[in-house]
Amino acid sequence: MNLSQQDWKSKLDRDTNAVILDVRTPDECSDGIIPGAINIDIYKGQGFIYAVDELDKTKNYYVYCKAGGRSAQACQIMNQLGFENTFNLEGGFMQWKGDVAFSIEE
């Protein structure tokens, strides 16, 4: 599901079962990340699918990339893998107005 920046953030703030997923490259992540995000680079192809498939499918995933395209694709892949709740951040990190961190939580 595509959500506007405001809807994505307000839904995330109220969600106690949320996981933030950044699908950008490690190099892009050096520009900053949304605090608490985990990073799985969608450009890893099959490696991305393997990594995502190991995630807890009962969680709600708030997915973003730089502009919103790759994260929309990631949500589609995740839905095909059995994830029921994936939320794409429209406009991506480029339009993000919330908090920014500069280290990824492992």
pTM of the model: 0.95
Provide φ and ψ at 60, rounded to 5°. -100, 125
Residue 101 within any structural domain of the chain: no
Does 105 score more than 60 pLDDT? no
Residue 24 within any structural domain of the chain: yes
Distance, in Å, from the CA atom of 60 to the CA atom of 44, rounded to the nearest integer, reads 22
pLDDT per residue as tens digits for the range 6-18: 999 999 999 999 9
Name the residue range of residue 87's domain: 2-92
Distance, in Å, from the CA atom of 70 to the CA atom of 29, rounded to the nearest integer, reads 14
Quick check: 19 and 81 in contact, CB under 8 A?
no
Residue 63 within any structural domain of the chain: yes
Residue 28 within any structural domain of the chain: yes
Q: Which is the catalytic residue, given 19, 63, 65, 75?
A: 65
Quick check: 63 and 87 in contact, CB under 8 A?
yes
Domain of 27, CATH number, reads 3.40.250.10
Region of poorest pLDDT, from 53-57, 75-79, 95-99, 100-104: 100-104
Confidence at residue 106, expressed as pLDDT on a 0 to 100 scale: 45
Tokens of 92: 């991506």
* Number of domains into which the chain is organized: 1
Q: Is 65 a catalytic residue?
A: yes
Confidence at residue 102, expressed as pLDDT on a 0 to 100 scale: 87
